[in-house]
Amino acid sequence: MSRENVATVAERASAVEQALTAKGRLEEGALDGIAQLEETLDWHNGAKVVARAWTDAEYKARLLSDGTAACAELGFEGPQGEYIVVLEDTPECKNLIVCTQCSCTAWPVLGLPPDWYKSPEYRARVVREPRRVLREMGLILDPDVRVRVWDTTAETRFLVLPIQPKGTEGWTEAELAPLVTRESMIGVALVSGPGWANGMSKIDRAGTIHSGE
Ligand code: FE
């Protein structure tokens, strides 16, 4: 087949959409709705949730007892966010999340998953050798820090509440939110601030180890 006969991705997608619509398998405009929804999915929403939890103890308590309702308080709700469970990191326990079956994330607060989260390698290895995977991703945990790997279920979507970095006490929500990364809310990184969290360490790309206290 000559190259000019190959349909573009958009043309092929449109042909599939038309065929499914013609067969009554897809409602008119359904894909436009999904495309619009996708624009609202943003992990920066989760960063706002984390920053609020760090600055408002009562909100944090609500977040840990009912993640779905507390995220909805800030306007973050919708598909794949119907049952959000928030996991609080402590100096003694590091949480991290995976979907071993596919690639589920809590869309309203974590957005769509990054490519590495979807990779078969991450999904297979992180449950067997989490410390090693974390180390490869740049996070070294002290041996006495417990690791809990949470596998997403059909309904549950997790969000890790990372430890607020030392030296940011008294910062406002607006100052804290930009520090929070998607990786820290998946659990494979710490939130870095002026200091590092208790009991944890990090090795940077240059191989320098920053020790916890
Ligand atoms: Fe999944």
Cα 146 → chain centroid: 20
The CATH superfamily holding the domain 42-210 is Nitrile hydratase alpha /Thiocyanate hydrolase gamma (3.90.330.10)
Q: State the pLDDT confidence band at 200, using cuts at 50, 70 and 90.
A: low
Residue 117 has pLDDT above 50, yes or no: yes
- Assess whether 71 carries a catalytic annotation: no
Domain coordinates of the chain in residue numbers? 9-39, 42-210
Q: In this prediction, what percent of the chain has a pLDDT beyond 70?
A: 89
- Token readout for 171 is 């910062």
149 CA → ligand 1 middle, Å: 15
Catalytic residue among 2, 102, 119, 192: 102
For residues 5 and 56, give the distance between their C-alpha atoms in angstroms, rounded to a whole number: 59
2-25 pLDDT, tens digit per residue, is 566 788 998 998 899 899 989 988
- Between the CA of 12 and the centroid of ligand 1 the distance, in Å, is 26
Residue 104 annotated in active site: yes
Is residue 119 annotated as a catalytic residue, yes or no? no
Q: Is the pLDDT of residue 176 over 50?
A: yes
| Residue of 2, 14, 71, 104 marked active site | 104
203: β partners: 209
Angle between helices 43-55 and 57-65 (to 10 degrees): 120
The DSSP secondary structure of 91-122, one letter per residue, reads TTEEEEEE-SSS----HHHH-SPPHHHHSHHH
Residue entry with tokens 């520090």: 179
Which pLDDT score is estimated for 141? 85
**Ligand 1 mean position to 98 CA, how many Å?**
8
> Among residues of the chain, what percentage have pLDDT more than 90?
60
Mean pLDDT of the chain: 88
- Could you tell me the two tokens for 52? 């609020």
Confidence (pLDDT) at 6: 86
Mean pLDDT value across residues 173-202: 81
- Where does the chain show beta strands of DSSP type E? 84-88, 93-98, 139-141, 146-151, 157-161, 200-203, 209-210
pTM for the whole structure: 0.83
Better pLDDT: 69 or 34? 69
